[in-house]
């Protein structure tokens, strides 16, 4: 049921923009890989994602033994700006914009 749902989704119009890749040697010659980036749709909508997968060795190269993919939503984080404005010295707390704002 899960596999059918995944196969029914149309990902042909998406472009991946990779931001980071980290890899680490693992058990029996395998490689653990962590990727983060954005998927960009035809209408230029961007969604952040992270993906981790385990490459297990085989006779000619590797195969994907495990794969985890997740969309990552942006969350606003408070920014503290210690500055002087209009001769008033106080902390200013700002909220970073999120995708919905």
The two tokens of residue 73 are 């939503």
84 in a structural domain: no
Please give the pLDDT value at position 85: 57
pLDDT band at 8 (very low <50, low <70, confident <90, very high): confident
21 in a structural domain: yes
Report, as an integer, the average pLDDT of 8-17: 85
* Rounded Cα distance, 7 and 57, in Å: 26
User: Is 30 in contact with 5 (CB distance < 8 Å)?
Assistant: no
35 in a structural domain: yes
Domain with residue 26: its CATH number is: 3.10.450.50
pLDDT band at 61 (very low <50, low <70, confident <90, very high): very high
Domain ranges, residue 40: 2-76
pLDDT, tens digit (0-9, with 9 covering 90-100), for 19-56: 999 999 999 999 999 999 999 988 899 999 999 999 99
User: Is 89 in contact with 81 (CB distance < 8 Å)?
Assistant: no
The total number of structural domains in the chain stands at: 1
**What is the overall mean pLDDT for the chain?**
83
């Amino acid at each position: 049921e899960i596999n059918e749902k995944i196969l029914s989704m149309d990902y042909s119009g998406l472009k991946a923009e990779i931001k980071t890749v980290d890899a680490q040697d693992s058990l029996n010659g395998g490689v653990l890989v962590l990727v983060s980036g954005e998927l960009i749709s035809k209408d230029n909508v961007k969604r952040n994602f992270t993906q981790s997968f385990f490459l297990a060795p085989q006779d000619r190269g590797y195969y994907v033994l495990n794969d985890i993919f997740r969309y990552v939503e942006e969350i606003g984080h408070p920014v503290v700006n210690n500055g002087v404005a209009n001769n008033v010295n106080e902390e200013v707390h700002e909220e970073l914009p999120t995708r919905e704002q």
